[in-house]
Amino acid sequence: MSTKVEERTYEDAVNWLREHGFDLIEAPGAQVRVFLKKYTVSAAIQKTDDGGVKIFAYPGYLIGGEISKLVNKGYQQFLKTTKTEVAATADHLKALHQFAEEMKEGLGLPSLYNESLGTVSESYQYDRIKDRDTPEVERPKRPWQAVKAKAAAKKASR
């Protein structure tokens, strides 16, 4: 197995993807960004300042014309969009994995061992506690925290 990655220019990557069955759609208003579609999965790539290519929107299964985000909740993986969340099936995960591997080959990106074993989620929410993965200052106050803050403010005003 080769450990050398063949880096491609944006134009070379676009040509390779076209030749290997990817549907390419120009992004509206941006001539250096393209949406890729294959296996009912989509992603977006863009041209870098030095003529290379980078991923703009990571692969996601298309649900209602929107690229979903794969969320792992420990007991089940879900495909989440702004409007809905559906349980990911084996077919969904297989399509995502196949698309990601082919896209990386087309872009000349390395295929990492842990990603090659199976589908990697964008988000992991094992503990089911809402907002735990957001920074502490952005989390909403829990009822017991609000009571403590109120009591501390009352005590300070005396």
Domain limits, the chain: 10-130
Q: What is residue 119's predicted lDDT score, i.e. its pLDDT?
A: 63
Sheet with 33-38: list strands edge to edge.
23-26, 33-38, 41-47, 53-63, 66-67
Model pLDDT, residue 61: 92
What does residue 46 show for φ and ψ, rounded to 5 degrees? Answer: -145, 160
CA distance 146 to 148: 5
- pLDDT for the residue numbered 1: 46
Instruction: Check residue 128 and give its pLDDT.
Output: 60
Q: Identify the residue whose tokens are 């989390």.
A: 139
Predicted TM-score (pTM) of this structure: 0.67
Helix (H) / strand (E) element for 156: namely helix 143-156
Residue (of 69, 17, 58) closest to 38 by Cα position: 17
pLDDT of residue 142: 78
DSSP-derived 3-state class of residue 19: helix
pLDDT of residue 77: 86
Strands (E), the chain: 23-26, 33-38, 41-47, 53-63, 66-67, 69-72, 77-80, 85-87, 123-124
Distance CA 112, CA 117 (A): 9
The pLDDT value given to residue 118: 60
Full pLDDT tens readout for the chain, 158 residues: 455 667 778 888 888 888 888 888 887 776 788 888 999 899 888 888 888 888 888 888 999 888 898 888 877 889 999 999 999 998 998 898 888 888 888 888 777 765 665 666 666 666 666 777 778 888 888 787 777 777 777 777 77
Closest by CA to 15, choosing from 108, 78, 153, 128, is: 108
Strand order in 77-80's β-sheet?
85-87, 77-80, 69-72, 123-124
